[in-house]
């Protein structure tokens, strides 16, 4: 008779449901949703910081002033941004891609760990399903144990930090109580790095001469004042790039650039647009852009890179230009998320 293995301690609370909440930015699901989405974005004090107010004024008028400024900016920018969404299908695909990730992760747990009652949810920061909506569904379903798993492998106060802050605000507003585990970052996870390289290899297959391809890692930038406050994001991005290239034995030339600058502040450099132009000027003809900070395809990969950066590349003489497909629901990335969630479930059951 075969000896049975000891019970997995992660399954000790198998009778209770544990929610794995995927934290995501979100995006407008129609052209009409663009302006209110932008309002929510610019109304976030973690993303858009107002000019300094006197302390007593900030406490009294800050949120109201933030809403006023957010309304003006979103109204002014909506037309241009709406046109960009029109060019990629009339909406953001980010929640659709995130829903695919959610389903894949749910299926993974059901197939590999059926004893663990998990419920994978999405909580988006700026559009549906918003954090408050997701939290209300957890309360209705009687789920009190939660793993907060950001779809941002590298930590910043303006990505996971903002999502955590919104979660805390909604907990207070709803009077909710959860036993939580929060994942801060996971950019070093081997399966995350392997998933990126799998996508890189897929993309290289589109080039006639893969050996000639230059790799440009493009990450969402942040203002320099965020970096100066000790935000670790930019260094984690650089480390991610080096881990990817180390796994490839540094088989190609590569560099890092930053995209998506908004407003007059100084941001991380070099910019992706300027870098593409420079690479063209020195004779690079085959270029693969790797969206290193994004795990789901959306406007910044499909339009900013897929359309705008492509135009820059063509003007610079780059003949063969490709943008790597997002990780989306790549099996290795789903396994990465599952490994992280399992680790946190194990910790949760021992608290």
46 close to 162: Cβ distance less than 8 angstroms: yes
Residue-level pLDDT at 7: 45
Confidence (pLDDT) at 351: 65
> pLDDT tens per residue, the chain (351 residues)?
444 444 444 444 444 699 999 999 999 999 999 999 999 999 998 888 765 444 455 556 678 888 988 999 999 999 999 999 999 999 999 999 999 999 999 999 999 999 999 999 999 999 999 999 999 999 999 999 999 999 999 999 999 999 999 999 999 999 999 999 999 999 999 999 999 999 999 999 999 999 999 999 999 999 999 999 999 999 999 999 999 999 999 999 999 999 999 878 899 999 999 999 999 999 999 999 999 999 999 999 999 999 999 999 999 999 999 999 999 999 999 999 999 999 999 998 776
CA atoms within 13 A on the CB side of 183: 28
CB 92 within 8 A of CB 125: no
Q: Compute the distance between CA of residue 143 and CA of residue 167 in angstroms, rounded to an integer.
A: 15
Domains annotated on the chain, with CATH: 31-87 (no CATH), 190-323 (3.40.50.1400)
Closest Cα partner for 293 from 343, 244, 339, 332?
244
pTM: 0.91
DSSP codes, 177-212: --EEEE----TT-HHHHHHHHHHHHHHHTTSS-GGG
Q: What pLDDT, on the 0 to 100 scale, is given for residue 102?
A: 98
Decide: 163 and 124 in contact? Cβ < 8 Å. Answer: no
**pLDDT tens across 223-277, in order?**
999 999 999 999 999 999 999 999 999 999 999 999 999 878 899 999 999 999 9
What pLDDT was estimated at residue 54? Answer: 45
C-alpha to C-alpha distance for 163 and 73, rounded to whole angstroms = 22
DSSP codes, 111-163 = HH-TTS-EEEEEEESSSSSBHHHHHHHHHHTT--EEEEEES-SS--TTTHHHH
| pLDDT at residue 50, rounded to an integer | 62
């Amino acid at each position: 008779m075969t000896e049975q293995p000891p019970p997995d301690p992660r399954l000790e609370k198998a009778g209770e449901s544990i929610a794995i909440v995927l934290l995501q930015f979100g995006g407008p699901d129609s052209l009409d949703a663009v302006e209110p989405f932008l309002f929510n974005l610019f109304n976030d004090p973690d993303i858009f910081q107002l000019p300094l107010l006197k302390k007593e004024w900030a406490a009294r008028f800050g949120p109201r002033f933030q809403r006023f400024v957010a309304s003006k900016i979103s109204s002014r920018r909506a037309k241009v941004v709406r046109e960009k969404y029109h060019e990629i299908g009339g909406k953001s695909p980010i929640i659709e891609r995130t829903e695919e990730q959610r389903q894949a992760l749910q299926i993974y747990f059901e197939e590999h760990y059926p004893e663990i009652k998990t419920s994978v949810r999405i909580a988006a920061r700026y559009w549906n399903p918003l954090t408050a909506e997701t939290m209300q569904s957890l309360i209705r379903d009687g789920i009190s144990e939660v793993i907060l798993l950001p779809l941002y492998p590298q930590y910043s106060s303006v990505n996971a930090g903002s999502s955590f802050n919104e979660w805390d605000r909604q907990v207070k507003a709803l009077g909710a109580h959860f036993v939580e585990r929060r994942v801060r970052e996971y950019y070093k996870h081997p399966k995350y790095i392997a998933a990126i390289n799998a996508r890189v290899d897929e993309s290289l297959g589109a080039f006639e001469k893969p050996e000639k391809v230059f790799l440009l890692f493009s990450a969402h930038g942040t203002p320099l004042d965020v970096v100066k406050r000790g935000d670790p994001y930019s260094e984690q991005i650089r480390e991610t790039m080096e881990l990817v290239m180390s796994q490839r034995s540094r088989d190609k030339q590569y560099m890092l650039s930053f995209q998506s600058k908004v407003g007059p502040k100084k941001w991380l450099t070099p910019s992706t647009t300027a870098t593409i132009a420079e690479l063209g000027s020195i004779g690079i003809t085959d270029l693969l852009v790797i969206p290193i900070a994004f795990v789901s395809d959306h406007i910044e990969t499909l339009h900013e890179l897929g359309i705008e950066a492509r135009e820059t590349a063509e003007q610079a003489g780059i003949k063969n230009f490709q943008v790597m497909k997002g990780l989306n629901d790549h099996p290795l990335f789903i396994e990465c998320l599952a490994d992280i969630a399992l680790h946190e479930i194990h910790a949760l059951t021992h608290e």
